[in-house]
Chains A and B, each alone.
Chain A
Amino acid sequence: MGGDRAYARDGVADDCREDGRGRATRRALRMAIGVVPNANGSCAVTLGETSCVAAVRCDVTAIEAWEASDVGAIVLRVDASSIATTRAGRAAAVGETLRRRLESVVAGRERGVSDASGRASGSGVDAWDGGGIDLRSLCVRPGRARWTLAVDAVCACDRGSMLDALSVAVRGALADTKIPKVSLVGVGSDGEGGELEIDDDPDACTRVDVSRCGVVATTTKIGKHGVVDATDEEEACAEASMSVGVDRDGMVCGEFTTGGETLDRGTADAMRKLSCRVGVELIEAMDAFLATAVAANKIDEDEDGRVMVVRVRK
């Protein structure tokens, strides 16, 4: 083990990390919403030197016959370019891993609901019912049209705890998202045809309810202790790490471990508890920011072409 790693490990044991933080202190979190002008909602996050941006684009899409008839959809994409991240592996694969983890925590919390026979029920779209975002609120007209929120997250610089920063960015972008008011007009007597009227009036927009949406807090085990919000140097000398998706009430909605070491139950419990505590603090800090920022966020009052008409494909 290199001399710097031994030093870092001793520092964690002394509760004095390399950048002066204690074990349970995270780095400075900076957020800004509305940073992407042509997106419906966006959020830029820097956590220490780690930074990322997420943007949401809303589209009305037709509900096909084989799909659940009364829910909208959230499509997540994570771009982890090899310039931004030093993680081993192909950038596409790294991005896909981050995407899968984020999706299960932020967009849809698949609760392990088991029915009487003990079988886990719910798979596919229906399982999103209990998710962090109520997908039913994204339905425009049951069986006809729905909102699809395309969430694009881009890692700008990975200096540790990328997943945590991404989860904050995605949640912030969803909170910032303004979904235009939509009404279906001119439907024939047989229930077919018709046009969608999309009203871009900022006052008529609805917001996505993110109150049940979670964030990820990662606890990294270095030596005998767990630290939160590890830097990339600390991640390099970690034995194991546990990322816990946690919602506002401290409920676990996703859990991933990485690293070579097997965690015994006591350690895992301690790490989970620390992650939950930090995650709840993170959400509280975030919501305090969002409450003022969303209210203050100015929407440009463009009067021209506010009402857009889209023909429903069906």
Chain B
Amino acid sequence: MGAGVEATSEETRARFERAKTSLERAPARTTRPNAAFVAPGERIPGVEHGDFLRGHGTRAIATASTTDETEETLVATTAGVVERVNKLVSVRALKSRYVPETGDVVLGKVTNVSGKRWILDINARQNGVLQLSAVHLPGNVQRRRNDVDELNMRTLYAEGDIVSSEVQSVYSDGAAALHTRSLKYGRLKRGQLVRVTANLVRRLPQHFHRLEMDEFHDSVATGTHDVEILLGCNGYIWVGAPSAATAPRETELRREPNDAIDDLNEAYGDKVPLPQRENISRVALAVRALAELFLPISPPAVMDVFKVSKEWGVAVQDMLGQGFLTRILEREVDKRVEAYEQGK
């Protein structure tokens, strides 16, 4: 790469298309085997005789019937998955903005600091709101509700900062109220943000992970090359050097609860050593490669792509090339077939 125009020869393209087709035909690795995909204009299966309530992403059309009375059926208006709640039928789009739900872990970028609150871009239809009353001050000091307190807001989170938080509640108009009242949440440093479609990140019991890299390095101190990955439900994914967000238990014990998230970083200084930086880039590119192929993003999946890219000797900057993506697709097909064979 970098040297010439990347060959988009018929051969590579054909191989990529072939891998995509075989993935479509591979046994699905889903918990809902009868989930139906629909394209815009396609009739939604299993909806008959007007026995439905029309939800988002659908449109009712009259169909020709044998009798005089017209019958209605539903067609999809977006490409997505059919969802049913009793009689309500809706189509959830494959690519959409994030829809906040209470308790979701989200990452946001501070766009504005206004009186008593921060405004965060969280990839939703509306900006997220982080109230000054919804954060813990460093050192767990009690907040004094005065003007000085509001004036000092920027020392906590300033414009452009990336903040991990949780959705506290959702307003009636769909906007999210966030909070960072936990040791895990706060300003993120020493890492990079990867933006993907929100639907690729599933809601998991644990969204903050530390990927261990010891097997790839023969360093004296273990864990010095580790990479942490914070999966925001809104499709913002943080890949960086380990911080308090993913600190092991013993470190946590030494710390005062509700300390600022930064002071573990301070111990390292703000610098990131080069080998670790390369790991971070590789993990970030693994996330982007998965997103490019529209495969779900989970820590094991990311780690798997990371490992094979190292095994195959693929340079970090070539990880979005069609050659590597094709091999990842083919591997995914093999894995699904294997899982299916074992399940039988």
Interface of A toward B, CB cutoff 8 Å: 1-8, 10-11, 14, 16-21, 25-32, 48-49, 233, 285-286, 288-289
Contacts and interface: CB of A to CB of B under 8 A. Distances in A.
A31 B5 contact: yes
B109 A2 contact: yes
B284 interface: yes
A126 to B, nearest CB: 35
A285 B192 CA distance: 31
A26 B317 CA distance: 10
A2 B285 contact: no
Given A4-B191, A19-B317, A289-B4, A10 B271 contact: yes
B187 interface: yes
Given A3-B161, A285-B3, 9 more contacts: A2-B109, A2-B162, A7-B191, A7-B192, A17-B281, A19-B281, A21-B2, A28-B6, A233-B193
A274 to B, nearest CB: 14
B317 A4 contact: no
Contacts, number: 93
A1 B271 CA distance: 15
A236 to B, nearest CB: 8
B6 A30 contact: yes
Interface string B199-240: 000000000000000000000000000000000000000001
B8 A3 contact: no
Interface in B1-26: 1-6, 8
Contacts of B5: 29-31, 285-286, 288-289
B266 interface: no
A19 B2 contact: no
Interface in B178-200: 187-193
**Top 9 A-B residue pairs of the complex, sorted by shortest distance between their CB atoms:** A20-B316, A3-B189, A2-B160, A289-B5, A20-B317, A285-B4, A20-B281, A25-B2, A2-B161
Contacts of B318: 28
Contacts of A29: 4-6
A21 B189 contact: no
Contacts of A32: 8
Contacts of A26: 2
B192 A18 contact: yes
B314 to A, nearest CB: 10
B315 A20 contact: yes
Contact of A16 (B158, B278, B321): B278
Interface residues of B, number: 38
Nearest to A229: B2
Contacts of A2: 109-110, 158, 160-162
Contacts of B162: 2-4
B272 interface: yes
B282 A20 contact: yes
A19 B285 contact: yes
Interface string B310-335: 00000111111100000000000000
Among B5, B193, B272, chain A packs the most CB atoms within 10 A around the CB of B5
B270 interface: yes
B274 interface: yes
Which of A10, A16, A26 gathers the greatest number of chain B CB atoms within 10 Å? A16
A48 B192 contact: no
A3 B318 CA distance: 26
Contacts of B59: none
Nearest to A290: B5
Given A3-B191, A20-B316, A20-B319, A28 B1 contact: yes
7 contacts: A2-B110, A4-B188, A7-B240, A20-B281, A28-B2, A233-B193, A289-B5
Contacts of B4: 29, 285, 288-289
Contacts of B2: 21, 25-26, 28
Contact of B316 (A8, A19, A30): A19
Interface string B76-96: 000000000000000000000
Given A4-B188, A16-B274, A25 B281 contact: no
Nearest to A286: B5
B317 A7 contact: no
Nearest to B273: A14
A208 to B, nearest CB: 19
B281 A18 contact: yes
A7 B321 contact: no
A5 B160 contact: yes
Contacts of A10: 270-272
Contacts of B191: 3-4, 7
A18 B284 contact: yes
A292 to B, nearest CB: 10
A36 B272 CA distance: 47
Nearest to A11: B277
A3 B280 CA distance: 15
A4 B280 CA distance: 12
A28 B7 CA distance: 10
B189 A7 contact: yes
